[in-house]
Each structure stands twice: as structure tokens, then as C-alpha cells.
Amino acid sequence: MGGMNTTDPQIVLGTMDFGTRVGPDHAFAILDSFVAGGGVWLDTANCYSFWTDPSGVGGASERLIGAWLRARPGARDRVRIATKVRHNPLVPHSWPESAEGLSARAVRAGIEESLERLRVDHIDMLWAHAEDRTVPLEETVGAFGELVTKGVALRVGAANHAAWRVERARSLAREQGVEPWTALQLRHSLVQPRPLAPVAEGGHRMLTAEDLDLAQSEGLTVWSYSTLLWGSYVRPDKPFPPTYAHPGTTRVLAVLDDVAGELSATRNQVVLAWLMRQGIDPIVGASRVEHIEQALAARRVRLSDEHLARFEQAR
């Protein structure tokens, strides 16, 4: 997958629970540890985490990152910030009924509010969090392109979008003479749910072979979320979701244990190394400093072609 990224894949810090489930002290310590360990990208969204926040709207994660940046002079030069528009409830506790869409007006308002909460003058990557088929794609593409022209978003990407919609959007961007989406964000991990099984989590879209094919041919960056499946690889109290209960999972996990043993690594580290070996940047959420330290150590795990072949055969 060498054609996808212009740079080596990196661990991205997922900050979804910051400001809600993860309080300021823990979040600051995780951010400090991530940067000290050479981490660069922070992934957030304007809707994080409205479902946990008593206010019923998002913004807590961005506000916490903004407070951390203010408390750490010079930190903005060391990190890149990715956030997302689409999904934040415009009326507290009213989702999806009042979820913001991807109209030009919504996109402009969304980034303006994000910049304010983050206390920054630009976003390094702005994602369209999900499709909005009630708005013409031309309008969304134009709004995202305009933000790049203005310098308030340096890059733009599409999360949870069908591959054909991304390519259509890129074609429209070329027609309009604006910056196209150059990154994809989708859900992916080593073990896979049963084919065609619906995803239980609302709004999640699984990475497909077609997405990787598009990324490779067009030189797009790929980020993956839910990479460690909420601790299911390593925590007996967090079993894999029911859709993962099939013989392929059992076989893949057996290979995972063998490979982890051979490389003196944890299951999670091998999963992250497997993703990065394919040119994918895995997003890792952390509620404790040791989680992010262990994740960053996955960069030193070297998987051979033979390891990859064993995983492929186990499926």
C-alpha cells in the first residue's frame, strides 16, 4: 500500500472522551505523554461527546484541547489537529433530529466554533464526519474548498463516506478549482465482523477493499478508528461484539497470539503494527498515560511479509 501515504503511517491520538469521561488532569497527562513520545496528530470532532455530556451537545473535547494548548506554550507547533463537522446537535439532547449537516452554512459555522473552542487560527485536517445526502455534494465540496483557500483548514477529508461519493466529490472539486478531499477515515481492525453483518454502532462505516483501492490509486491518506475494538483484544471483561463471533476471528486471534509471542509485543501493539504496515494511520483512544505509551511502542514492532501472509490465511 506504499502509494497511499506520502509519509510513514503514524499513531493518531483519539480524544473523543476528553472533557467528559476523561477529566482535565488525565487528559493533559495523556496529551503530554503523547507529544513527549513523538506523537503528532490529535483527532477530535465538534460533536464529541454529546452523548456523554450533561449539556447534550458536543464541544468538550475541543475545549479541553484548547485549554491544554493554552497551558503549554509552543505545543501548537508540535501537534497537528484534526476535527470534524457534521453530527453536532444544534438543539441539546436532540439527535439525530437536530444534527448539523454539510450545507455551506453549517460547514462554515462548524469550523468557526471549532476554532474558537480549540483557540487556534487553523485546523490541520477538517473531516466531513458523515455523508449528508440532503445537501448537493457540489455545495459541500465548495464549502470545504473555500476553507482551504482561506487558510483556516490546511487539508480536508471524508469520514464514513462511500468510496464513490469521495471520488465524485474529488471530481467536483477539480471542476470548481478548489482543494479536494485527500484523506479517508473509516473503521478498521485486524479482526473483522461477519461479512454483510450490519454495524451496531450508529454512523460507523467499515473500511473496504474498494476504499483501499481508491486510496492507493489516488494517493489518499487513510485513518482508521475503533482500531482496538474498545479493549476487546486484551480485556476479558470487554468481549468482542457479537458480529465478530465467527471462525475467522478465532483463527486470526490464534495467529495474533503466536506473532505477539514471537515479537515480544502485546496483542494491541501487533494490531497497530499490522495497520501501519498497510499504510494506515490508526487512531487510538486512551484514558490512561500507559495506554498511549504502549500504543506508541507499536511503531517499533516490525511485521514481516510472512506474518502478514499468516494473518491473511487465517481469515
Domains annotated for the chain, with CATH where assigned, are 12-314 (3.20.20.100)
Q: pTM of whole model > 0.75?
A: yes
- Torsion angles phi and psi, residue 45, rounded to 5: -160, 155
Take residue 145 and report the three cell numbers written for it.
Answer: 474548498
CA–CA distances in Å: residue 20 to residues 26, 52, 234: 11, 6, 24
Q: How far apart are CA 145 and CA 161, in angstroms?
A: 17
CA–CA distances in Å: residue 308 to residues 20, 170, 303: 38, 32, 7
Q: What is the pLDDT of residues 248-287, one digit of tens each?
A: 999 999 999 999 999 999 999 999 999 999 999 999 999 9
Q: Is the alpha carbon torsion for 96, 144, 281, 68 positive or negative?
A: negative
Q: What is the pLDDT of residues 122-174, one digit of tens each?
A: 999 999 999 999 999 999 999 999 999 999 999 999 999 999 999 999 999 99
Q: Nearest CA to 46 among 12, 91, 82, 96? A: 82
**Residue 4: band (very low, low, confident or very high) from pLDDT cuts 50, 70, 90:** low
